[in-house]
Structure 1
């Protein structure tokens, strides 16, 4: 059955008990990143999707033509330090498109309106993230494992699906044997340059998927560039119990059953797009709005 039909058969699993702040739930587009040297990037395609306990991240130079070894995408467990207000991620070796961690520092966050400012603790950069989602389904499914249907063999697979209203992100790690081909190299360029079979190495690298849909369940951006313009695969789901779903799908040309655990599920969720302010701040804004709001608009 279709995923949305399957969701009607499971109970709501709210995110209110999450460790991380609710202001981080949703789909975020990076509007800009500014560096210590005075340079600012407003063009790289970057999206961050946040479920209750895990993150999906995608970074591309452009929609279709980002060089294979320069694509970035990962899925990881989200860690929050309440006292220091620091956000960090635990990314497994098979949870990263790249062979190394590109963003090793935790994040210091400050939220204003629909904007999250992310500061590196040593002031290397600041990123400006904008909430894309308004309201609708909030779903987080985390891949637990997969089974090869022909042989019954269980394989380790990482990944997940996050839906925030109309916005969707899907991540799926490489098959273990393909990941193992790359693990001996320090980076993907080295893997391509030193491989005895370049074609096989390229196929292994591209086996890792992070795909993003901004509307109509159609893939707008992906580490697998050939999937751009295709539909998200949301059919052939089955409900196993209140917290477990499975999906039949093809991986590398072979049929598999992929097992998902429900991380969070709300049929209708209001994502945070504004922040509270003191009465003094509100009064100041109201008194000065003829100037302050003259050109102001909600920017995603």
Structure 2
């Protein structure tokens, strides 16, 4: 069964976030209470009905190239240790979005505040309740397409039964998809930066610390998704995952995917969050009649320089 074949067995959950929060948002900027703004960091937010995938990376020229773990310098490892990627359950109360039960590259929660959210057009604004920052997120343009949210239980070597990854998830939303593969083992320590600094030159320990992936890709459910951003630089340009090998388990709330990874036959088990064949991913949120009349009346100046921003 292919990824697209899953759509024949639609399973929309009745819980979760509203439609306007679904899809792939990229951060346009974050402004802090001290008056400073960052509009350069790559920050991606994928939202399924009940869970989120998040990726935060420096610009490409600041990212170390792929190397064997023993060949990275201490400075390069310090950059890698500040990458962020995670998956977490999300809960919306009509005003705030909160996250819990995360699978994260970092060993501590860097973003502990819930999100106060409002969306107008393709712009979703997130306020930190403490007033520490405000973030401007933009829904990325996509053709109408599926929404698939699968939370990863684990990935195992089929031959040996060895656990390769635990926790994570896959979100497919129209022209985009994101994947998180958690570490096989739970790590101790308060900071990934500290643990990585202590492991410099220890390839085996570094391999365990970075046994994690968050990748963002674009494409289609018919032809596949190609990775453009990833915590694992070696994965850039590769297919996010094979499109086939899926099978429903007997309870119809879980699926498995059988695939080959680096020459090893593996099995990934997922629990279904939602499988929806078609969403619009509309850029507009609409006007009230009064607002539409105002916009039309004042359009000579309101639309003087307007253009889409993503």
Shared fold by TM > 0.5? yes
Contact 2:165–2:183 (Cα < 8 Å) also in 1: no
Q: 1:147 aligns with which of 137, 150, 156?
A: 156
CA-based RMSD of the aligned residues comes to 2.1
My pick for the range that moved more, 196-205 or 95-104, is: 196-205
CA change 1:133–1:139 in 2 (3 A) is farther
1:43 aligns with 2:68: no
1:164 and 2:173 are equivalent in the alignment: yes
Q: Secondary structure at the match of 1:260?
A: strand
Q: Among residues 208, 226, 234, which one is paired with 2:234 in the alignment? A: 226
Show the 5 A alignment for 1:4-83: 4=4, 6-8=5-7, 10-15=8-13, 17-63=14-60, 65-66=62-63, 67-82=79-94
Change (3 A) 1:70 1:196: closer
Q: Give the direction of change, closer, same or farther, for the CA distance of 1:208–1:153 in structure 2 (3 Å limit).
A: closer
Q: CA shift at 1:143, angstroms?
A: 1.1
Structure 1 residue runs without a partner (length 5+): none
Which of 214, 217, 221 in structure 2 is aligned with 1:213?
Answer: 217
- Paired with 1:299 and 1:275, the residues of 2 have a C-alpha distance of 15
Q: For this pair of structures, how many residues does the alignment match?
A: 288
Q: Which consecutive aligned stretches of 4+ in structure 1 deviate over 4 angstroms post-superposition? A: 153-156, 250-254
Relative to 1, partners in 2 of residues 1:71 and 1:261: Cα closer, same or farther, differing over 3 Å? same
TM-score for the superposition, normalised by structure 1: 0.88
Equivalent in the alignment of 1:98: 106
Question: 1:83-94 to 2 correspondence within 5 Å?
Answer: 85-92=95-102
Deviation at 1:119, TM superposition (A): 0.2
* SS of residue matched to 1:57: strand
Shift of 1:229: 1.1
* Other-structure match for 2:3: 3
Q: Measured at CA, do residues 22 and 173 of structure 1 come closer, stay the same or move farther in structure 2, by a change above 3 Å?
A: same
Aligned to 1:198: 202
